[in-house]
Amino acid sequence: MNAEFSQKENLVCRLLLALAILAVAAALRIAPHPWNFTPVGAMALFSGAVIKDRRLAFAFPVLALLAGDLFVGFYKPGLMVMVYASFLLSVLIGRSLENRRAFLRIAGATVLGSLQFFLVTNFAVWWLLNSYPKTASGLAACYLAGLALFRNTVTGDALYALLFFGAFAVAERFVPVFREPAPAAAR
């Protein structure tokens, strides 16, 4: 019974640490920053990789985005849906890291998350806004114009992923209550 309690306590502490890191990320979204240099992509990856409860892993980034949009402003609903969907894809990418959080895997997932965000959101801009002609050359022009923002996306995602995953790894290593509980022995 005592071991079960400590394992539950351990899981609660890990969840609280992850949620604290995610809350910092949500707050940083509304701080002044260069375009697309935000913690949201890294937050979505981290949420998917670390939070065991799937519903919570998907819900927290969406709630953080909504809270941030209350401060920075809402935009065209169709575009918002595509942006939110893209971050949910990043949560899915993060889920693939769940029990295998090595540096190279995190780096690959970060680049993949940034790339899919670039592809999804620029397609949405081309499709839903009247900024570009609805032709192949219009789509190409939209992606070309988005390349400057892509650099900020990748850089921000990489920096924040390093901070979030790094802080969590340091806590796991040096604070016993944050360590991954050992799997229960088969009976």
Domain assignment present for residue 26? The answer is yes
Radius of gyration of the chain (CA): 18
The backbone torsions φ and ψ at residue 133, rounded to the nearest 5 degrees and listed phi first, read -65, 145
In a domain, 49, yes or no: yes
pLDDT tens column, 49-78: 988 889 999 998 898 888 888 888 888 889
- In this structure, is residue 184 part of a structural domain? no
The gap between the terminal CA atoms of the chain, to the nearest Å, is 16
pLDDT in tens, 20-46: 877 787 788 777 778 888 889 999 999
Q: What confidence tens digit (pLDDT) does each residue in 158-186 have?
A: 999 999 999 989 988 888 777 777 665 54
∠ CA 168-71-55 to the nearest 5 degrees?
A: 45
How far is 66 from 60, CA to CA, in rounded Å?
Answer: 10
Residue 47 lies in a domain: yes
Sign of CA dihedral 178, 180, 181, 182: negative
Which residue did the predictor score with more confidence, 5 or 114?
A: 114
The residues, any chain, with a CB within 8 Å of residue 71's CB and separated by 6 or more, are 30
Q: What is the pTM of this model?
A: 0.85
**Domain span including residue 24:** 2-178
Q: What is the mean pLDDT of the chain?
A: 87
The answer as to whether 109 is a domain residue is: yes
Residue 13 falls within a domain, yes or no?
A: yes
Does 108 fall in a domain? Answer: yes
Q: Is residue 115 part of a domain?
A: yes
